[in-house]
């Protein structure tokens, strides 16, 4: 197995507090893997054979509800750990992970998790902090879904994506991975028709610039203001 260069991950929150020797030992258990755009890293309900750290690209975590609806849970950004079912005592993946652009990950076998956290307790602490942050994000989205009108939810989704993976360009902030209107609909619990209507209106007003799976926030301050406005608008 090829050795993973520890300099690629030494500054990540996942490995905060580890010495070079400790990090090298953790990485000896890992291998690197590449996933082409639109390929699945794992599927909801699969045996949780591995856990992952994203080095490059972006990964969409989505869930199919009992009624067959697709819900986008979150997007994983470079430097984030995901698929950590063993840390939560799960034997199966609770969601599907799909590469939304060409991606590179580190992969550890789930069988290594108990051994690694027994020897390096900070690994469990750092992982649980990351999981806790995502649970808080999920709680925030539940509150948004139950208390906000759809335009405000869409604005919040764009602000969240821009904060996580925004890239400054000449005309504003571009969400730095392919994302469709259907993806945004699945993030915000609404329909493609409604999202298309809202985004088309924002394009006409000069707030955003759209394209094929591309969104640029031309007026990010105004989008933020829409996200933080008092409730009102379309249901």
Contact 101, 58 (CB under 8 A): yes
How far is 97 from 219, CA to CA, in rounded Å? 31
Percent of the chain with pLDDT over 90: 69
Task: Indicate the average pLDDT of the chain.
Answer: 90
pTM for this structure?
Answer: 0.84
Question: What's the mean pLDDT in 81-90?
Answer: 91
pLDDT bracket for residue 230 (50, 70, 90)? low
Percent of the chain with pLDDT over 70: 96
Counting beta carbons within 10 angstroms of the beta carbon of residue 226, is it exposed (0 to 12), middle (13 to 18) or buried (19 or more)?
buried
Strands of 172-175's sheet, edge to edge? 166-169, 172-175, 214-217, 208-211
- Checking if the pLDDT of 77 tops 80, the result is yes
* First-last CA distance in the chain: 53
Q: What domains lie within the chain, and their CATH numbers?
A: 6-140 (2.60.120.10), 148-227 (1.10.10.10)
Q: What is the pLDDT of residue 117?
A: 93
Q: What share of the chain is helix, strand, coil (3-state, %, to 5)?
A: 40, 25, 35
How far is 94 from 61, CA to CA, in rounded Å? 10
Q: Would you put residue 152 in left (φ > 0), alpha (ψ -120 to 50) or beta?
A: alpha
Question: What's the mean pLDDT in 21-48?
Answer: 95
Q: Of 9-13, 28-32, 89-93, 110-114, which gets the smallest average pLDDT?
A: 9-13
Exposed e or buried b for every residue in 34-62, given b needs 16+ CB within 10 A? Answer: ebeeeeebbeeeeebebbbbbbebbbbbb
What tens digit of pLDDT does each residue of 191-212 get? 999 999 999 999 999 999 988 8
Question: What's the mean pLDDT in 23-38?
Answer: 94
- Checking if the pLDDT of 151 tops 70, the result is yes
């Amino acid at each position: 197995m090829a050795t993973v260069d520890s300099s690629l991950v030494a500054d990540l929150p996942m490995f905060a507090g580890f010495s070079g020797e400790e990090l090298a030992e953790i990485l000896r258990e890992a291998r690197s893997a590449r996933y082409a755009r639109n390929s699945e890293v794992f599927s909801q309900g699969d045996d949780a054979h591995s856990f992952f750290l994203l080095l490059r690209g972006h990964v969409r975590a989505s869930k199919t509800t009992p009624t067959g609806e697709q819900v986008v849970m979150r997007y994983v950004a470079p430097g984030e750990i995901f698929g950590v079912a063993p840390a939560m005592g799960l034997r199966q993946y609770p969601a599907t992970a799909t590469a939304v652009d060409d991606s590179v990950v580190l992969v550890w076998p789930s069988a290594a998790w108990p051994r690694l956290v027994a020897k390096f307790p900070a690994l469990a602490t750092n992982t649980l902090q990351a999981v806790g942050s995502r649970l808080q994000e999920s709680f925030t989205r539940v509150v948004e879904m139950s208390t906000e009108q759809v335009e405000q939810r869409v604005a919040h989704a764009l602000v969240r994506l821009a904060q996580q993976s925004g890239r400054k360009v000449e005309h504003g902030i571009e969400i730095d991975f392919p994302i469709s209107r259907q993806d945004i609909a699945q993030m915000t619990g609404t329909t493609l028709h409604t999202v298309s209507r809202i985004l088309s209106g924002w394009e006409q007003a000069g707030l955003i610039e759209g394209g094929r799976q591309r969104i640029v926030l031309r007026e990010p301050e105004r989008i933020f203001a829409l996200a933080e406005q008092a409730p009102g608008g379309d249901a």
